[in-house]
Amino acid sequence: MNVFLTSLGCRLNEAELQTWAKDFHQNGIAVVKEQSDANLIVINTCAVTGEAARKSRQTIRRFHRKNPTAKIVVTGCYASLEKTEAESLLGVDLIVSNQDKNLLPQKAKELLEWQSMPYAATEPEESALFVRNRERAFIKIQDGCRYRCTYCIVTIARGEEVSRSIVDIILEIKQLCQQGVQEIVITGVHVGGYGSDLNTNLYELVVAVLEQTNISRIRFASVEPWELSDAFFELFNNPRLMPHMHLPIQSGSDKILKKMSRRCKSETFLSLLNKARSVVPDFNITSDIIVGFPGETQEDFEHSLSMVEQAKFGHVHTFSYSKREGTKAARLPEQINESIKKERSQVMHALAAKTKAMELNKMIGTTVAVLWEGHAKRLENGIYQYFGYTPNYHKVCVELASELLISNQIMDCKIESVYKKGYLYAKLIAQPKPAMQKLAIKQL
């Protein structure tokens, strides 16, 4: 039997796919790259906005239309918040709530009446990495969130905080290392709150990962900025911790931050960024900004623009506020007109593009170690393009005259220019070893 796994939304959803892939594999069930090859399709949905919920419905319908014989299991935030609606969609055979996600592979097997292979019959050292990226793995360290930001539906969908033990996390990372995975991304609903139920914390987890594993690169998914102490950034003196964090601020106005029930003021946030850059000067901070939140005045919006300029973000995800039923913000007065939200979004996008370009230009002339990912892209002129990410998470491209096997290799390159599409061009410092070179492809 074959299973196809897909997700919408956050990196946590991606991490969960990876965990399920491993569980399916250990029971003799293959994870396939194409949904058309699957007997079972698992869709990990999103509902962070109304648009995300719509895309989740659209995805379910599309997969059923393309593979009507496959069983479809739907899970994630949309499935949890809109269970009745999700169950009514054509083709859906099983709904698994967020609270039961750890049981999903077993429930799926029961659905299809699969007979599991004994655990010993599989290769215990071989994990079914999420098939879309074999260089990087997502490590889910916790689920749920104890905070209730007024615009957020996800905390309602995910429930209370539950953390994995450090021992369990370390074991997973060691298994990934044995397979040649170079980079992990630590993820969760509330990463900064890790360990609140286990009498530990994120700092102690990171120290353990550094001390007890040999993983080459460690990154973080979104982390709430108010959870991080000054001491946390001292950890980045270790070069295995990549100098990039996604710290969502959401607004530059303290008034709006309070209405959002965010627990960070703009001044405190900027001080945190200064601390990070005092440890690693080229530390890249990316963030989220919501424009048009209820009650946001022009002055509040200008505070957000000022925040983006001062913070020198490497990238900003800009969202126009979207009313989500079931959240406190949906009931707030002074809802902003859609035309104003659209105008503010355009202004914010333009400023974010400007600050990103400034940060990219700072990289020109530097030498960085890049983890090259995926397969080469062959251009019409016969040149091969390879893509990867710098330690501080800027996308970079090299062009080579021949196809070489540099995927999943960490190699030094010199940044030469910024491409108009928003990524860097570079040249390798040294050519790959002859043993890495791929056999020439015969020209037709």
User: Which residues are CB-contacts of 252 (< 8 A; sequence separation ≥ 6)?
Assistant: 266, 289, 300, 303, 304, 305, 306, 307, 308
Contact 183, 135 (CB under 8 A): yes
Contact 11, 138 (CB under 8 A): yes
Domains of the chain, residue spans: 2-121, 135-242, 264-362, 367-436
Predicted local distance difference test score (pLDDT) of residue 433: 55
Domain range 367-436, CATH architecture: Beta Barrel (2.40)
CA 8 to chain centre: 11
DSSP 286: E
Predicted local distance difference test score (pLDDT) of residue 39: 86
The two domains 2-121 and 367-436 share their CATH topology (first three levels equal)? no
User: Which residues are CB-contacts of 376 (< 8 A; sequence separation ≥ 6)?
Assistant: 384, 385, 386, 400, 403, 404
Superfamily of segment(s) 2-121:
Methylthiotransferase, N-terminal domain (3.40.50.12160)
pLDDT band at 116 (very low <50, low <70, confident <90, very high): very low
pLDDT band at 136 (very low <50, low <70, confident <90, very high): confident
Could you give the CA distance from residue 35 to residue 66 in angstroms, rounded to a whole number?
A: 8
pLDDT band at 117 (very low <50, low <70, confident <90, very high): very low
- Listed residue (400, 440, 396, 436) closest to 419, CA to CA: 396
Predicted local distance difference test score (pLDDT) of residue 374: 79
Specify the DSSP element, H or E, that contains 343.
helix 338-361
Residue 157, pLDDT > 60, answer: yes
pLDDT band at 432 (very low <50, low <70, confident <90, very high): low
- Angle CA(50)–CA(55)–CA(61) in degrees, nearest 5? 130
Q: Is residue 394 exposed (0-12), middle (13-18) or buried (19+ Cβ within 10 Å)?
A: buried
Specify the DSSP element, H or E, that contains 278.
helix 266-279
108 φ, ψ (degrees, to nearest 5): -65, -40
Q: Is residue 430 exposed (0-12), middle (13-18) or buried (19+ Cβ within 10 Å)?
A: exposed
Predicted local distance difference test score (pLDDT) of residue 326: 84
CA 387 to chain centre: 18
- Listed residue (186, 159, 3, 18) closest to 77, CA to CA: 159
The CATH classification of domain 135-242, taken from the options 3.30.750.210, 3.40.190.10, 2.60.120.1440, 3.40.50.1970:
3.30.750.210
The number of beta carbons lying within 10 Å of the beta carbon of residue 158 is: 24
25 residue type, one letter: H
User: Which residues are CB-contacts of 318 (< 8 A; sequence separation ≥ 6)?
Assistant: 288, 289, 291, 345, 348, 349, 352
Residue 152, pLDDT > 50, answer: yes
Which of the residue ranges 150-159, 206-215, 224-233 would you say has the lowest mean pLDDT? 150-159
Predicted local distance difference test score (pLDDT) of residue 408: 86
CATH class label, 264-362: alpha beta
In the predicted model, what is the mean pLDDT of residues 181-195?
92
Residues 381-431 have pLDDT tens digits of 888 899 999 999 999 999 988 777 788 889 999 999 998 778 999 999 977
Contact 44, 7 (CB under 8 A): yes
Could you give the CA distance from residue 346 to residue 351 in angstroms, rounded to a whole number?
A: 9
Contact 372, 388 (CB under 8 A): yes
